[in-house]
Amino acid sequence: MTLTAASGPVDRLGVAGMSRDAGFEVEMRLIAAGCRMVAGIDEVGRGAWAGPLTVGVAVVTEECFARFPAGVRDSKLLTPRQRERLFAPLSQHVLCHAFGNASAAECDRLGMVVAQRLAAARALDGLGVVPDGIIVDGPRDFTGRAGAVSIVKADRRCAVVAAASILAKVTRDRLMAAAAEIHPGYGFERNKGYASVEHRLAVARLGTTPIHRMTWSVAPVGPVSAEDLLPVP
């Protein structure tokens, strides 16, 4: 597997040997290839019915590795309490971090692919630094920036991407809790805008709100499956 520095093309890396605890192997290889600042980038909210698509980005240097808190993993492997507990130390011990949102209206108007790029651009532009290496979670680069590499399940393999995942998830969850106060009755503080049974029934009873994505299948009621009853991620 060959990694390139800032001017190189996007590489797609495998995830063989992926472990539950995220590490710094890929970040160290990018630094060895000449990168000084490595960013991890991840999104949350892509599959929600309501609320923004949020992209988080975190940046590390080699000096950050020793200061990272224990237990940094893909946000989906952590409980809400664990994510909240990690938010402050991660905010303090990465070099910097930022978020970008694409609103429900922008997701509707632009489509999810373009909205994701827009949110990523807003996050990267908000950093105040220009990383020369970027690890993108997923099968393809949605940043369009030099020095990007895309890794499937990078949030489980790369600590900097796991950090971005946690920071983005907590930030969006807080936004949805605030939205619940503006739009009561939908349970946004619990379902975070995802299509839970509670949310579906609320749409049937109350209709939609300005933060619903109207181009998505906001079906008010339908057959309730076992998957519908699982906890919202």
44 - beta bridge partners?
54
pLDDT at 56: 98
pLDDT at 218: 76
pLDDT at 3: 46
Domain 12-176 -> CATH class:
alpha beta
Q: What is the pTM of this model?
A: 0.85
Rounded Cα distance, 118 and 123, in Å? 9
pLDDT at 14: 38
If you write DSSP's letter for every residue of 120-168 in order, what string do you get?
A: HHHHHHTSSS--SEEEEESSS--S--TTEEEETTHHHHBHHHHHHHHHH
Looking at the predicted structure, is the pLDDT value of residue 228 above 90? no
* CA 215 to mean position of chain CA atoms: 21
Q: Is the torsion defined by CA of 74, 79, 82, 86 positive or negative?
A: positive
Please name the amino acid found at residue 117: R
Among the listed residues 129, 131, 166, 149, the one whose alpha carbon sits nearest the alpha carbon of residue 39:
131
Judge contact between 38 and 134, C-beta under 8 A.
yes
Rounded Cα distance, 19 and 26, in Å? 13
pLDDT in tens, 110-119: 999 999 999 9
Phi, psi of 174 (to 5 degrees): -65, -40
pLDDT in tens, 118-158: 999 999 999 999 999 999 999 999 999 998 999 999 999 99
pLDDT in tens, 32-51: 999 999 999 999 999 999 99
- Domain locations in the chain? 12-176, 179-225
Query: What kind and span of H or E run contains 44?
Result: strand 38-44
pLDDT in tens, 174-214: 999 999 999 999 999 999 999 999 999 999 999 999 999 99
Query: Angle, nearest 10°, between helix axes 80-93 and 159-182?
Result: 120
